[in-house]
Structure formats: C-alpha cells, structure tokens
Structure 1
Amino acid sequence: MKTEKVFQDRLSPAVQSIKPSGIRKFFDIAAKMEDVISLGVGEPDFVTPWPIRESCVYGLEQGYTSYTANRGLPELREEIARHYADVYETHYDAATDILVTVGVSEALDLAMRALLAPGDEVLIPEPCYVSYQACTILAGGIPVAVPAKQKNEFRITPAELEEHVTPRTKVLLIGYPNNPTGAIMTREDLLAIADFAQKHDLIVISDEIYGDLTYGGEAHICFSSLPHMQERTLLLNGFSKAYAMTGWRIGYALGAPEIIAAMTKIHQYTMLCAPITAQLAAIEALRHGEKYMKKMVAEYDRRRRLIYEGFMKMGLNCFEPKGAFYIFPDITSTGYTSEEFAEKLLEAEHVALVPGSAFGDCGEGHVRCSYATSVDKISEALARIENFVRHHKKA
C-alpha cells in the first residue's frame, strides 16, 4: 500500500481542485539559478523605513509581546479610522467597523468564509490576483470569471458584469489598482459599477492594497467613498506595498458591523490576533510614514516609465499602467503561450516573470512584470528580454 495514495484520497476535494500559485512557481525556479533578474514577485525592493522599524524595536524593549484584542489594538483601529476620514471622507467606527488581520490575504479569506454559503456566486473580473478564485472555492462559493478586455485597458464595465450575473450572485470582488495589469478605474468607471451593485443588491469586496500607488496625476478612488456604497462595501487594505512592509503581515478590513463581527468570529478561532509588533509598526506608518511612502511611489513612477518605454520599443505592446507596480505586455507576436515565453526566457536569458495565464484564462498572451526593483536591474532585464524576442520567436 502506498501511503501517498492513501492520503491523496483523503484530502479535501476543494483543496485538490486548486492549482498551486503560478507566481511562486517561477520564483522558486529562479531561486535555484545564478545571475537571475526577477521581475516576478510583487514585493517592494525597499526596506521598511527606519522610524517604522524603530517603533517595533522600542515596543520590544518596553515588553510589548502579548496578545492584543482580537480586532486589533484600539490605537491602530483609531488611526485607520482617522486616515480614512482625512483622506477619503469616509467615517468608520474604530470599535465596530474595523478588523486588523494578518495581511490582506487573511482579510480576504475571512471575508469569503463570513459571507458565502455553498453555491453562492462571486463575480471576479480577470485578470486578477491569484488568491481571489482560490479563496472563493475554499469558502464553498463559485467564482465566476468576468473577462476584462485589453482594448479597454482591463477596466471592467457594467455591461460585461451583466453578462455573468445570476440569481445566485452574492458578491462582486474587485481589485484596483489591479494586480497583474496595473489598470485603474476612474471615478466615472466606479460610479457605474456602484450602480450595478445596487441594482443587483450585491456586496462589493474592494481590495485596495495598491491604492496609494497611483501615477500620472490619477488619484485613487476609495470605493466605499462613493454615494451609498459604504454600507454595502467591504474594503480590504494593508501596509505591505505602500510602506514596504510585506514581511510584517499586517492588513485590515473596513465594513458594516455585522460583517466585521462575523469575520472577527472566524479570526478568533484561527489567528486570534495580528502580531503586536506589526501593529505597533502600522501605527507609526500611519502617523509618520507618508513622506517615506511618497518617496517610494516617486521612484516606482520613474521605473514605470522606463519599463513601459522599453517594452514598446521592442514591439511588445502594452497599455501604460497607472497603478500598482506591474506592467502586462502582450507577447502573442512571439508565437509562444505565456507559459512557454516565461519558461524559455528564464532558461535563455535568466529573467523571471509570471505567465499571464496564472491570473485567469484571459491573461493568456501576456506576462506580468514587476518593476519593484532597481533601475539598473530593469534596464538589464529589458536588454535581455529584447535579445530573447529578437532571436527566439517561435517557428
């Protein structure tokens, strides 16, 4: 009897149905190679600013090593509430409307498990972050992909959503600025989506982890700040991207008290609370981290322009991304699938990027490149990619 087979048969069907992350696959391969330039994983190359790190050190020196309230430190929740009131003129009660989580990933998982009953459908515009469909399935829901079109710069429209809505649709899950495309939605775009959500009485989960990373004079529009949307929006955000705090694993959810209470109930039995040291650092980030964040965003903007111009010059067309730190060039002219392109580029030129197909079927024909790395590395990566495109087109 083979033990592996016995345990394979006993695994959850839902877990077995989920593919491993397409992002991590190429990161793991690249980690074993030499002289690799990675444009794969979406992680800032900056170190968390020192004052934020220092707040953690000070907390440890003062003996802050205990559990916190399940919902998070009151001081952090109050800072989050203040931030949204000051920046977006939305008003959340720190006591009832905010839950601090172990990264936005946990917030998304809690949201799905709190909201979905078996068979409930979730509309998910694609291409999208790899966790969206997986978390829906693990919660017993049914992910319904809504393809966004390259000709519309991957912005989703009510007409496209209408083609996929059914009586079983409960949730619309959106993520703008978008991972993997770098697309943003204008206020007019989002107002139309808000009307659609009201028409069909949907709960909107808005993943705004890249909200502070917008360029070209485009201000981020907080979905819950739109008229009549706060009561039906569960807003997810965190500190990983804007403050270079990926390893701290600190996020949060803002929403109606009933939803936050349900998420907290699950959180109590799984995570209990986010690490106190990370919460202390998050307080410092909100109070004094903006100037550091703006410097990082300005540098991302410089890299964004460089990588966009580079791909356009080599003939890999793409729209100009206006948010996050990703670009999504079209590689169909090479004759390769996105998976083939990524594999052969890594083998031939030691540049790691992510196949567009990892983000949904409509991502096929593209690759995701992160420009959260130095200008020198981006320049060298572009030279290697251009050389690959010139000499390795599929016959």
Structure 2
Amino acid sequence: MTLTDFSDRATGLSPSKIRDVAELGLGDPDVIPLWFGEAAWRSPGLAVEAAKTSLDREPAHYLPNNGHPALRAAIAAYLARLHGVELPVQRITVSASGMQGLALAAQSLVKPGDRVVTITPDWPNIAAAFSIAGGAVDKVGLHVETGRWSLNIERLLEALTPQTRCLVLNTPNNPTGWTLTAQDRQVILDHCRRLGIWIVADEVYNRLYRHGPSAPSFVDVAKADDRIVAVNSFSKAWAMTGWRLGWMVTPPELEAPLAMLTEFNIACAPPFVQAAGASVLDAGDSFIEQQNERLSAGYDLVARRLGAMQGVEFIEPDGAFYAFFRVDGVSDSLQTAKDILRQTKVGLAPGIAFGEQGEGFLRLCYAQPAEVLNAALDRLEGYFGG
C-alpha cells in the first residue's frame, strides 16, 4: 500500500514542523518544553468540579448538536458582559475546540476552488482547515515596523477581490501577537460587506490582550445578517487545551447547517466538558485576571532577557502569550530549533512552521512560572550569547 491509495486531502497535508521538533524531545525530563501554545498551570478548579458533578449526577448521553442549552445561554450571557451585545442562542454553536470551529466554518462556507485569504505568519492549522475543505488559500503578510508587527491594510484590501469567498483573521495572532485595531477592523468589515466576502475571525486569544480586558472583536460589531463567523475557545483564556471545547458566533441561518456538520462528525462535545465550560463562563473571570498577571510577569522577564541576547531581535506583541523573535543569520529555523533542543534542552517552535514569512524566527511560549522561564533563558543565553 502506498500514499497514492489515499485521498489528496490526507496526502496533501504537510506535517507540523512544531511537532517535528517536539517529537525529538517529548518524554525527556531534562527538556524545558516551550514549543506548544498552552499554559503550564492547571485548569480552573471549578471546571474540574463541574465535570465531576456532571459525571456523578447525569448520564453521559448525547446532547443537541449545537450544544447544551445551558452552555449556549452561558456563552450568550458571557458575551453580553464582555462585549455589550445581546445574542440569541440561535447565533451560538458549541464546538469541540476552537480548531473544530474553524473546520466547521470551512466546511460550511467554502466550495472546492473558492479563494480564501489569510494573514501570515499564522498558525498552520488555519490554512490547513480551509485547504481540506477545498479552498485555494492566498496569504497576505504582516511586516515589522518600528519594533512591532503591522498589517498593510491597503495591501490586504487589494487582495480581497470580488472573487474572494472568505477572509480568515487570527487576532490576537499566533505566533506574532499582532492584534487588529478597531479602526482597521471597521475598514475590513466595510470592504467585505460591499463585496459579500465572509469573515472568519479566530479570536481564541481575545482575553490574552496586553492593553485591556479583551482585544477588539468582530463580536463587538457583527450584525445578525453580516457574513461573519467568530470562533473562540476555552483553551487559552481558561488553560483548558486538553478539554477540547469552543464556540462560534454566526448568522442565525448557519445554525442548522452547523448542526448537520456536527451530527455527521462527532455528534456533540461531551456533556461533562460542556458543564465545565458553563462553570468558567459563569464564574471564571478571576482565573483570567490571575492568569494575565502571570503572563504579564512572564512577558516582562522574557522581553528583558531575550532582548539582551546577542543577535536576537525581540518584537513586542499586543496579545497572546508568545515571544516570536528574530535571530541574526538564521535561514533555517527548523534546523536551528532542533540544534537548540539538542544543545540546550529547550524546546522552541521554528518560525517556518508559521509560513515563509516566519523564516528566521523562533517562537517561545512564556505561559510558564518564572523559575522555568529563567532556567530556559539561562540555557538560551549560553547558546546565543549574553
């Protein structure tokens, strides 16, 4: 049996270059793993207790495809508090992770050959989800300007033509931390409204914003008839990556198609996981506040120490929890990340994993205790030079 026996959807995918590095060090107790995008600390205790209570008291049966009514109502109430918008539950669909939300968006919106525009550097799974659905993905690159990542809005608008089906924006962005401004958001929205282009906004880092309680969101401005799908997740704001739970805000007309796609995929997210999600939406704001204090301290530490290392250019992010830094002379970030792992036992993600625009960069996740970050930075200082 050869690869030609399988579908192009399966064989046409490229392996994750982050996992290329991670698989060389997983299981090694001496490795400090900063390659994946997840916090080191545990999920909120109230989520764990809610899941236990659900398992103790309720049968773990199928739920409605679009999510448990209590969770959909909790999401609506949370969004009302955060964004000041009143959303009917028909506009809210529960997904088994933010990633599944992106896949559902791609499957429901994109036909084979449809043109999809994304912003790069970006998490590789985003483009993959739309490619699997048959989309032809084009990318518009961010650039570094005065020490920060920036979007050339005119260039993006030129790329968004009447032939474009969908624009996919990850903001705050993984890996750069770039965040769409409210002003640029409105310019993009007006342009896409005129041309009938769908906007899929991956907003999973929305609460990990360095300049306020939440980053500018399309939920703030989306009308019921707008072609906007806003995807979010419990993974980052509440350190629940392994729980696999998220949600989507969509026009009400998408409720039924998303239910059918979910039915013929996973049926529903597990009921005890949905119970955990509802608990943190109702009472988990203190966890986010404490986490952001930890992230602020981690950011300050990493910015100070990385910025002092020889040949390292630290670029200030606006959100998320990554340092995406450029290293002088690096033209093969994958091999550099492997070499750093081999020599220092520090696991970083190679910039090339996030597209050609990321070559020459490395990504470090600073959602770690200070002692772990200091140990990793000591080792990197030995590698790069202080």
Per-residue Cα deviation, 1:50-72 (whole angstroms, up to 9, x for no partner): 12211111111113411111111
TM-superposed deviation, 1:158 = 2.5
Superposition TM-score, scaled by structure 1 size: 0.93
Q: Is the 8 A contact 2:66 2:258 kept in 1?
A: no
CA distance in 2: counterparts of 1:166 and 1:279, whole angstroms: 39
- 1:302 equivalent in alignment to 2:312: no
CA contact (8 A) 2:122 2:173 kept: yes
1:108 maps to 2:88: no
The aligned counterpart of 2:233 is 238
Q: Using the alignment, how far apart are the partners of 2:240 and 2:81 within structure 1?
A: 22
CA separation in 2, counterparts of 1:195 and 1:249? 33
Shift of 1:29: 1.4
Residue identity over aligned pairs, in percent, reads 29
Tell me the residue number matched to 2:326: 330
Which segment drifts farther, 313-322 or 97-106? 313-322
| Alignment deviations for residues 192-238 of structure 1 (CA, whole Å, 9 cap, x no partner) | 22233223321110111110111144741111312758722101001
Q: What's the secondary structure of 1:171's corresponding residue?
A: strand
Q: State how 1:86-101 maps to structure 2 within 5 Å.
A: 86-94=81-89, 96-101=90-95
* Equivalent residue runs for 1:11-90 within 5 Å: 11-90=6-85
The Cα shift of 1:154 comes to 2.9
Contact 2:224 2:252 in 1 (8 A): no
Deviation at 1:336, TM superposition (A): 4.3
Counterpart CA distance in 2 for 1:26 and 1:56 is 34
Length-normalised TM-score, structure 2: 0.95
Q: Give the residue type in structure 2 aligned to 1:52.
A: A
Give the deviation of 1:15 after TM superposition.
2.1
Cα distance change of structure 1 residues 19 and 227 upon mapping to structure 2, 3 Å threshold: closer
C-alpha distance in 2, partners of 1:218/1:103?
22
Offset at residue 34 of structure 1 (A): 4.2
Q: Judging changes above 3 Å, is the alpha-carbon distance between structure 1 residues 32 and 76 closer, same or farther for their aligned structure 2 residues?
A: closer
Q: Is the 8 A contact 1:325 1:372 kept in 2?
A: yes
In 2: Cα distance, 1:227 partner to 1:92 partner: 10
What aligned pairs does 1:233-312 form with structure 2 within 5 A after superposition? 233-312=228-307
- Aligned with residue 205 of structure 1, among 200, 208, 213: 200
Specify whether residues 335 and 211 from structure 1 end up closer, same or farther in structure 2 by C-alpha distance, changes over 3 A only. Answer: closer
Distance 1:34 1:286, change over 3 A: closer
Aligned to 2:226, the other structure's residue is in SS state helix
Once the two structures are TM-superposed, the CA of residue 118 in structure 1 deviates from its matched residue by: 1.0
On the 8 A contact 2:222/2:228 being kept in 1, the answer is no
1:380 is paired with a residue whose SS is helix
Paired amino acid for 1:236 = V
Q: Secondary structure at the match of 1:154?
A: strand
Name whichever of 349-358 and 194-203 sits farther off: 194-203
Is the 1:206–1:234 contact (alpha carbons within 8 Å) kept by the matching residues of 2?
Answer: yes
> What is the CA–CA distance in structure 2 between the aligned matches of 1:64 and 1:172, rounded to whole Å?
41
| 1:226 paired to 2:232 | no
Which amino acid is the alignment partner of residue 132 of structure 2?
L
Distance 1:33 1:48 in 2: 24
Deviation at 1:390, TM superposition (A): 2.8
Q: For residues 105 and 199 of structure 1, what CA distance do their matches in structure 2 show?
A: 28
Q: Residue 192 of structure 1 aligns to which amino acid in structure 2?
A: V
Structure 1: runs of 5+ lacking an equivalent: none
Following the alignment from structure 1 to structure 2, what is the Cα–Cα distance between the partners of residues 112 and 227?
19
Distance 2:225 2:318 in 1: 25
1:123 to 113, 117, 126: 117
Deviation, 1:180, is 0.6
| Alpha-carbon distance change, 166 to 324 in structure 1, aligned in 2, over 3 angstroms | same
Larger displacement relative to structure 2 (334-343 or 65-74): 334-343
State the aligned residue count.
384
Counterpart CA distance in 2 for 1:225 and 1:16 is: 39
Describe how 1:309-388 pairs up with structure 2 within 5 A: 309-315=304-310, 316-331=312-327, 333-388=328-383
Q: 2:5 aligned with 1:10, yes or no?
A: yes
3-state SS, counterpart of residue 326 of structure 2: coil
Distance (Å, rounded) in 2 between the aligned partners of 1:287 and 1:297: 18
Q: How far is 1:156 from its partner? A: 2.4
Distance 1:218 1:63 in 2: 35
Classify 1:229/1:182 alpha carbon distance in 2 versus 1 (closer, same or farther; 3 Å): farther
Query: 8 Å contact 2:32–2:346 — kept in the other structure?
Result: yes
Cα pair 2:330 2:360 within 8 Å, conserved: no
The answer to which of 264-273 and 10-19 deviates more is: 10-19
**Aligned Cα RMSD in Å?**
1.7
Task: Determine the C-alpha separation between the residues in 2 that align with 1:230 and 1:181.
Answer: 31
> Any unmatched runs of 5+ in structure 2?
none
Distance 2:365 2:12 in 1: 28
Q: Does the 8 Å CA contact 1:254/1:260 hold for their aligned counterparts?
A: no
Amino acid at match of 2:40: D
Closer, same or farther: CA 257–228 of 1 in aligned 2, 3 Å: closer
Q: Shift of residue 103 of structure 1?
A: 0.4
> Residues of 2 paired with 1:327 and 1:213: CA distance?
14
